[in-house]
Amino acid sequence: MSKMIENLEAALDEYFANGGEPAIITSGYRHDSGTPSPAPSSPHPLHNMAATHEAFPTTVEAGVDFIIKLANEDYDRFMPESRNAEMNAAFKNGWTVSTGKKYIKIVNQNSVWGFVVNTHSDNKFNIGDILKPASFNAPARNFARGNVRNGDLNRIRWTSAG
């Protein structure tokens, strides 16, 4: 437990050392200021996954593509290609995206990864809000796990938006 607290304290120290700015993704969507991205073996890359409003794509479709890219990067940290190239390739090539009337459903290898709100007429959520799945065909509507249009992507993991 104390190691987890030390990791959290280190992440917070880094956050405040950057003036309250999250650490920067170097994947092409964000450009860093010369700070190298963490090694794939870093303990928890949460603070490296936030995107800025200026650099983030503002359409829902581009945002869905971006969260798939972030999930793939998180999977690379979990299962590097050097460890199991076949599983890594299957994960990265297993994405399907289907657009319905209200939601965009994101599926990886026959498991629903999540949903993105794709309508302005939802009474509870904004367009672009990321929702966890409640079932294969419906999202959990308790609260949004982020938004693909404003860069709120701190919860993106390869398993889902937690």
**pLDDT tens by residue, 50-76:** 444 345 666 888 889 999 999 999 999
Q: What is the pLDDT of residue 150?
A: 83
Low-confidence ranges of the chain (pLDDT < 70): 1-58
Nearest to 70, CA basis, from 41, 48, 93: 48
Q: What is the pLDDT of residue 5?
A: 55
Q: What's 91's DSSP letter? A: H
- The model's pTM: 0.66
Domain locations in the chain as residue ranges: 2-131
Q: What is the pLDDT of residue 82?
A: 85
Query: How many CA atoms, within 13 angstroms, populate the side-chain half-sphere of residue 75?
Result: 24
Q: What is the pLDDT of residue 55?
A: 58
d(CA 148, CA 17): 26
> Which residue, chain included where needed, has tokens 């076949």?
86
Q: What is the pLDDT of residue 153?
A: 84
Q: What is the pLDDT of residue 6?
A: 60
Q: What is the pLDDT of residue 2?
A: 52
Q: What is the pLDDT of residue 127?
A: 93
Nearest to 134, CA basis, from 122, 145, 124, 146: 145
Q: What is the pLDDT of residue 155?
A: 86
